[in-house]
Structure 1
């Protein structure tokens, strides 16, 4: 079960994530996990080398920046204002935006570099499944083959759940099904991984 230390740890992660991202941008990130009509969420597994698989909340190969209005761009990417009424005409002049444009769609070129800098498709899956990080829930063998990684070195914001091999990931999926938390897992870049394996 989730002990007090683990609860405080994950609470801190979520609080930190929400403090880094403005609310509207956070909603766009958190809504990425795909859910089927049956209510079963789909996650994507990608092989990162040495047989290790990382779980993503969306396909990292097809991810694209969200559609944003000029107001969302100013609020999320610049982060100085909470309400459109707080923006002065001088502020708008700096960004070459008129007040009438605030609800119009902003060109993606204005924010895509910023979005890619902060984008992560691994945080949601980490947060979704972290409460299963318990040897009593997963069993010793499965628990030992899953790595819950948070900022592995100073300055790193990498957060992910990593599986030692494909079989470990499939065993985790089976365990989730047994626990009443069924998920679909799609393997991305699996064909290229198999071809590489055959050549080596």
Structure 2
């Protein structure tokens, strides 16, 4: 069967992957089954088995499809403003139960499935690369040294927030987002985030 954009195959994939996320949130990785995903999607289970086969493949494909969605990087006119916007988005997602349920479930699944772990790694690598454009623009404006590791600065901006979310369970808010962004920027301006010579 030819996969036509917008055709039946694309529609089936869309509803199945949406059902995958919903089932992952509802019952977690260990409670998920291909049959439950098929039931929620309204698709015959043989269709799901034939195309995906296992829960691991379903989760990986769901993450891959999310990775392919273009994410618009902020453009506030300054690097500080852009980094704060990126950090604030993390806070906004993870303080909204409706929006945080999927990423939290994905992180949990990645602890139990090597395939989900790789898909999560690929997703965040893509998102970091998209976000790094704000650093590249800042370098072009002369705000930072040319050897600044753009992706590392994005990691430094978000890391304190993810530490609170997934490790300590401490609350996060917009003040925490601003603090994380400004601390990362101080480190970058001090030359602490220079790219390795052969990077």
Normalised to the residue count of structure 2, the TM-score between the two structures is: 0.27
Q: Report which of the two has the higher share of helix.
A: 2
Q: Report which of the two has the higher share of strand.
A: 1
Normalised to the residue count of structure 1, the TM-score between the two structures is: 0.27
